[in-house]
Structure 1
Amino acid sequence: VQVLPPVNFTLTVSALAQVLLQWEPNPAQEQNNSTIRYDVKILSPVPEEYDTERTHSVRTAALHDGFSARVRTLLLLENLQMSSDWVEGNLPPLPGAEETSVTNVSCVTHITIPGNVSLRCAWLPGQGAPEDTKYFLFYRYDTHTEECPTYTKDKWSRNTECRFASTQIKPGGIDNLVVIHINGSSTHAAIKPFQQLFNQNAIEKVNIPRNISISLEQNDLLAMWEKPISPFREECFEYEFYLIDLKSGNKQILKISSNSFRLRIDASCRYSIRVRANHNHICCARGFWSDWSEIIYVGQNKLENSIAWIFTLLCVSMSCTLLLLAIIYKINHAWSKLFPPIPTPSNKFRDPFPIDYERARTCTSSTETEVGSLAEDLSCSVLDDSVF
């Protein structure tokens, strides 16, 4: 039996980074109680091969460098499988000048409140992109497509980062794809678009563990916390426990698969503790580790005890000294009230000749004549006789 290839094989872009493959059975194909299936092989951008009974197929792929695929007929007759020749189709690369598309695209999602997922993406402008290039980002999740509402610019006012405060990404989705499409415009060159696919779980930055409780039970440290805000179950998370001995400076990062554990420590030392979380691979792809929790201190360092006692003693000593000085001041103040100093008596007798007496004391002068000097001496003698 001759096996004929399919006819009317077409490739159609049905959404961002999505291709619809369609074909029809060869009308001249004899079936003769046999089963017909189709072998589909994706050649680029990512090789893949599968078979199907349908005459259409949908594939998600980055299309900026084009897409190529082929299909053939498989005829299953009893225990025998026969195949036809291949029929091939392709999509050309997206138009634009080389090295004008963005590079180093990275994205992070974050569950801000239950049921809401934010998205942030960053990229670098292409090396060949003119300074007036403006980039625009779109994301697609399932059938929803949306353009970025908020951009961050570089020194040439080119968009290099995008933020979605809220998206249609389902927080409980497992291995679903987030499609990122970034195109651009410039007056000097045609900007080539760029597409990239992300596993939604692999780009999620997990939230910090909640309600962390640390306690000491003799020489054992007991730690408990609640899973991060997430629709996933408790067993879908793993944790890192960061312990620092503040006395010796020793640091440990312990990997914990549950949300509680017990650890033997030196109870005479003081420790700082932080915890962070990530997805466990048993449920979905690992994402980005959460931020570390706030530092929690536990235990007591003996050296710190001594310093605390010395500081307390100094404070008490200074307080006592100030109190003693205050008491001495109060006593002196009260004594001065009880026994005030005797005031110096004032002179109630006035001098009857204060001005003449002063003149008598200054009767000589180098500028006066000799006669005047003699007269002054005589007047001085008269004054002296009258006073004494």
Structure 2
Amino acid sequence: MLPALLLLLGAAVLRGADTLPDQNLLLLPPVNLTIVVAGLARALLRWAPHPDQVRQNVTVDYHVRIHGPQEDEYETRSTVSTCVAPLHQGLSASVRAIVRDHGRLQAASRWVSAELEPPPGPPGTAAVNLTCTTNTAAGDGTHAARYQVSLHCAWRAGEAAPADTQYFLYYRFGAETHECREYSRDSLQRNIACWFPRTSIHSKRRDRLAVLVNGSSRLTAIRPLDRLFALHAIDQVNPPRNVTAEVQGARLSIEWQKPVSAFPSHCFDYEVQISDTGKAYVQTEKRTVNAFTSVIDNSSRYCVQARATVSTTCRAAGLWSSWSPPFCLGSDAQKPSSKQLLMALPAAVCFALLVCSLVCRGCHLWTRLFPPVPTPSSNLGDLLAMSYEKAGSQDTETVVISYVDEPAAETLEHTEF
């Protein structure tokens, strides 16, 4: 019995030794590494094992390192690898062969490298400031098209682009690539924005959106521009629907429905804003459910609004929606406050005085109520004659008094009655 156990133990040790990598194992680097464009913002890397590599009882993996435009590294057992990255600045990568034992690196070859040259075109001719947003709308009601995602992108023409440059936009999501059909143009009739009312984008998937803007000109080559967008970073969430409020005594109850979105109800966070219009007071609350109750002064007028964002439990943090239209209730609008009355009283008094002044001026009431007081002349020499009538029994006698200025003295001449 004991000899048999020793034989079995020895066989097991020999089998284990055969599976261990040779400490003197020499790994040769891969050969024929190439990088080619395989689609919009997608490159294909290919290589082959070294033909002189000695076959041993080990598993050879490959360590891939992307140097630019975005650094990345990973391991694979295949000799073909797809790299998703912007390619308008070219791409460089390196590959080496490795052997691991229980996660620990046991042997590695030297690196081999290759480069993908940037597309042709002078600097400054490519489009700049490329931005994109997505939005979800209700579909045709069928289960397959319950929601429809639109896409809007905008950019500016490059500073060195000739005046006859024309730009064109393409997007890729998953395996599907589409060309824009609806453009907006600048004053030189160059395309500077694109609108896709319907796309193949699925907002719940984690694929990145690839967008390419290339161009053409009769004078020079136009360098393309491509970018990758994470959907959560560009998705413009719709505001909550059917926001309603009700006052019961001193309690304000607010309810709403989830936004139009492919995400279910539990995937949203909300903010509720309550505005007291009479006191210029705003209260903001965060909620994970579509209802909220607050204690209020029921003699005031209130307006409520809500906005939403997709929760981090369902995808990475993204944008908040715009606020929903305000829903107002209460009677404070018919009860002006004392502050409003104090502000309105001086204005009313000034307006009444202005009206009275205009009426009096138009009807000459000031002249009738306050006639002007006559004043004597300051120069007696300007008074040439003064006459008055003396009433008699039958005739009227006239007396004329004349004043003559003399250098030495003043003489008064008169006639007798």
- Residue type of the alignment partner of 2:169: L
The structure-2 alpha-carbon separation of the partners of 1:252 and 1:155, relative to structure 1 and needing over 3 Å to count, comes to farther
2:188 matched to 1:156?
Answer: yes
Q: 1:128 to 1:306 in 2, by over 3 A?
A: closer
> Which whole-Å deviations, capped at 9, do the CAs of 1:74-114 have from their partners, x for residues lacking one?
02368661100001011011111111111111111111223
Aligned to 1:116: 148
Name the residue aligned to 1:274. Answer: 305
Matched residues, percent identical?
A: 39
Take 2:133 and 2:318, find their aligned partners in 1: how far apart are those partners? 9
In the TM superposition, 1:205-284 aligns within 5 A as: 205-284=236-315
Q: Contact 1:9 / 1:88 at 8 angstroms: preserved in 2?
A: yes
| Contact 1:74–1:81 (Cα < 8 Å) also in 2 | yes
Q: State the Cα RMSD in Å.
A: 1.8
Structure 2 counterpart of 1:194, from 206, 215, 225? 225
Whole-angstrom CA distance in 2 between matches of 1:298 and 1:37: 68
Q: 1:371 is matched with which residue? A: none
1:127 maps to amino acid: E
- Using the alignment, how far apart are the partners of 1:205 and 1:34 within structure 2? 51
Is the Cα–Cα contact under 8 Å of residues 272 and 306 in structure 2 kept in the other structure? Answer: yes
On the 8 A contact 1:34/1:77 being kept in 2, the answer is: no
Distance of aligned partners of 1:258 and 1:77 in 2 relative to their CA distance in 1, 3 Å threshold = closer
> Does the 8 A contact of 1:224 with 1:260 survive in 2?
yes
Paired with 2:62 and 2:189, the residues of 1 have a C-alpha distance of 51
- 1:109–1:117 CA contact under 8 A, matched in 2: yes
Aligned 8 A contact 1:123 1:161 in 2: yes
**Per-residue CA shift, 1:33-91, capped at 9, x if unaligned?**
11211100010011011111111111110000000100000023686611000010110
The 2-side partners of 1:80 and 1:142 are apart by 34
Q: Which one of the candidate residues 331, 334, 338 is aligned to 1:304?
A: 334
TM-score of the superposed pair, with normalisation by structure 2 = 0.70
Check the 8 A contact 2:240/2:306 in 1, yes or no. yes
Measured at CA, do residues 46 and 306 of structure 1 come closer, stay the same or move farther in structure 2, by a change above 3 Å?
A: closer
Aligned residue for 2:370?
none
Equivalent pairs counted in the alignment come to 305
CA distance in 2, matches of 1:92, 1:306: 72
Q: Aligned residue for 1:144? A: 176
Quote the residue 1:30 is aligned against. Answer: 54
**Aligned-partner residue type, residue 295 of structure 1:** P
2:233 is paired with a residue whose SS is: coil
Deviations 1:333-382 (A, max 9, x none): xxxxxxxxxxxxxxxxxxxxxxxxxxxxxxxxxxxxxxxxxxxxxxxxxx
> 1:157 and 1:92 mapped to 2: Cα distance?
31
Query: Residues 177 and 219 of structure 1: is their aligned pair in 2 closer, same or farther, counting only changes over 3 Å?
Result: same
The answer to whether the aligner puts 1:92 opposite 2:124 as a matched pair is no
Given that residues 221 and 264 in structure 1 are in contact (C-alpha distance below 8 angstroms), is that contact kept between their aligned partners in structure 2?
yes
1:122 CA displacement: 0.5
The SS at the match of 1:202 is helix
The question of 1:104 aligning with 2:123 is answered no
- 2:393 corresponds in structure 1 to none
Structure-2 change in CA distance of 1:219 and 1:82 (3 Å): same
Q: CA deviation at 1:208?
A: 2.1
Residue 106 of structure 2 is matched in structure 1 by: 81
- In 2, the alpha carbon distance for the partners of 1:172 and 1:55 equals 32
Counterparts of 1:115 and 1:275, CA distance in 2: 22
Q: Does 1:70 align with 2:101?
A: no
Give the residue type in structure 2 aligned to 1:98: P
Deviation at 1:306, TM superposition (A): 6.3
Asked if 2 retains the 8 angstrom alpha-carbon contact of 1:116 and 1:171, the reply is no
Equivalent position of 1:381 in the other structure: none
Superposition deviation, residue 260 in structure 1: 1.4
In the alignment, the residues of structure 1 paired with residue 336 and residue 223 of structure 2 have an alpha-carbon distance, to the nearest angstrom, of: 68
Seen in structure 2, the aligned counterparts of structure 1 residues 250 and 90 have a Cα distance that, compared at 3 Å, is same
Q: 2:200 aligns with which of 148, 161, 168?
A: 168
CA deviations 1:285-312 (Å, max 9, x no partner) are: 33433232121002331x62469xxxxx
Instruction: Name the structure 2 match of 1:374.
Output: none
Letter of the 1:234 counterpart: S
Partner letter of residue 112 of structure 1? Answer: A
Does the Cα contact within 8 Å between 1:115 and 1:171 map onto a contact in 2? Answer: no
Gaps of 5+ in 1: 308-388
